[in-house]
């Protein structure tokens, strides 16, 4: 099995890179991609751990961009030797995340929902690690304000809720260009979760999008067929993965059950070779 959408403690996952590799092996997954949010901090540890199991690790990252005021997630793949400028790009995104969290904490405080910023910061000990709203949700649970991450989002953190703070993130075009310059390929993550997927896809294709995540734990068969058709229409490669975060996340049972068919992975690799040839002309 091939799973190209996995998270670790380098962002909002519950397992370290080495623990994730162990669980992937138990689930009989032979090719994985660690795609933490706005960081590649977990990739090297995953590669080191994978040697004992014969698992192939595709270096990846999941970058949040803003399209027409909405968050969209873009998966960057095959970033074997990400240049300094790309790492700086990710560092800027991580700093924006920290600033956003501080604003959320301040907004919660004004609402009478008190949590410690330190309780959030200490969840991420890696200086290259990434913080996000799930970390705020965990702090809300720890403080006794809510019982679950879902409740935290539904009451306070989701768009339209009292503590929601819009992102100040890069555009899809800038992300696609940055990943291409780093020698990678970009896939639109879980398009079935977007409000206007077709309109968004049209825009991203014009910006140079190379692939689309058809196979995802929250895509039913009809949704998969829909986006397979879209991939053919726009001549996009296809990606897929579980979006696994950990045992405390609802997607935990899906590790080993959702992935990318090998023939699509071969096409993705071919597209990468072509993209790199074009980039070096």
146-185 tens-digit pLDDT? 999 999 999 999 999 999 999 888 999 999 999 999 989 9
Please tell me the number of Cα atoms within 13 Å of 218 on its side-chain side.
12
Of the candidates 130, 157, 184, which is a domain's last residue? 157
Q: Are residues 114 and 21 in the same domain?
A: no
Domain count within the chain: 2
pLDDT at 252: 60
Q: Are residues 197 and 139 in the same domain?
A: no
Is residue 221 a part of any domain in this protein? yes
pLDDT less than 50: residues of the chain: none
Is residue 163 a part of any domain in this protein? no
Of the candidates 123, 157, 191, which is a domain's last residue? 157
pTM score = 0.91
Write the DSSP string, 24-68: HHHTT--EEEE--BT--TTHHHHHHHHTTTT-EEEEEEEEEEEET
Asked if residues 268 and 16 have their Cβ atoms less than 8 Å apart, the reply is no
pLDDT at 105: 96
Is residue 83 a part of any domain in this protein? yes
Nearest by Cα to 35 from 178, 176, 277, 241: 241
The DSSP secondary-structure symbol of 244 reads B
> What is the residue whose two structure tokens read 């980039």?
279
Q: Are residues 153 and 230 in the same domain?
A: no
Is residue 150 a part of any domain in this protein? yes
Q: Are residues 78 and 185 in the same domain?
A: yes
Start-to-end CA distance of the chain, whole Å, equals: 35
> Which three-class secondary structure string do you get for 100-168?
HHHHHHHHHHHCCCCCCHHHHHCCCCCCCCCCCHHHHHHHHHHCCCCCCHHHHHHHHHCCCCCCCCCCC
For 44, residues 6+ apart whose C-beta sits below 8 A from its C-beta are none
pLDDT at 175: 96
Tens of pLDDT, residue by residue over 178-188, are: 999 998 999 99
- Residue 230: give the domain boundaries: 2-90+168-279
Of the candidates 126, 157, 188, which is a domain's last residue? 157
> What is the residue whose two structure tokens read 């995104």?
93
**Residue 68 burial by Cβ neighbours in a 10 Å radius (0-12, 13-18, 19+):** exposed
Q: Are residues 131 and 188 in the same domain?
A: no
Q: Are residues 42 and 110 in the same domain?
A: no
Is residue 104 a part of any domain in this protein? yes
């Amino acid at each position: 099995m091939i799973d190209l959408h996995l998270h670790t403690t380098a962002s909002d996952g519950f397992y370290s890179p080495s623990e994730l590799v162990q669980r992937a092996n138990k689930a009989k997954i032979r090719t994985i991609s660690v795609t933490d949010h706005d960081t590649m901090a977990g990739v090297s540890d995953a590669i080191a751990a994978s040697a004992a199991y014969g698992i192939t690790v595709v270096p990846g990252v999941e970058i949040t961009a803003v399209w027409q005021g909405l968050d969209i997630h873009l998966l960057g793949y095959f970033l074997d030797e990400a240049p300094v400028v790309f790492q700086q790009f990710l560092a800027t995104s991580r700093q924006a995340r920290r600033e956003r969290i501080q604003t959320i904490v301040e907004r919660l405080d004004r609402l009478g929902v008190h949590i410690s910023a330190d309780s959030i910061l200490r969840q991420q000990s890696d200086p290259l690690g990434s913080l996000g709203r799930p970390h705020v949700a965990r702090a809300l649970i720890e403080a006794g304000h809510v019982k679950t991450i879902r409740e935290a989002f539904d009451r306070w953190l989701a768009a339209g809720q009292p503590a929601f703070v819009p992102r100040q993130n890069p555009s899809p075009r800038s992300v696609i260009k940055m990943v291409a310059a780093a020698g990678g390929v970009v896939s639109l993550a879980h398009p079935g979760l977007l409000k206007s997927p077709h309109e968004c896809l049209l825009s991203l294709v014009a910006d140079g999008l190379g692939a689309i995540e058809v196979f995802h734990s929250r895509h039913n068969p009809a949704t998969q067929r829909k986006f397979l058709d879209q991939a053919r229409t726009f001549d996009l490669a296809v990606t897929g993965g579980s979006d696994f975060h950990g045992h405390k996340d609802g997607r935990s049972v899906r590790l080993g059950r959702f992935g990318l068919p090998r023939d699509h992975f071969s096409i993705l690799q071919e597209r990468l070779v072509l993209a790199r040839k074009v980039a070096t002309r």
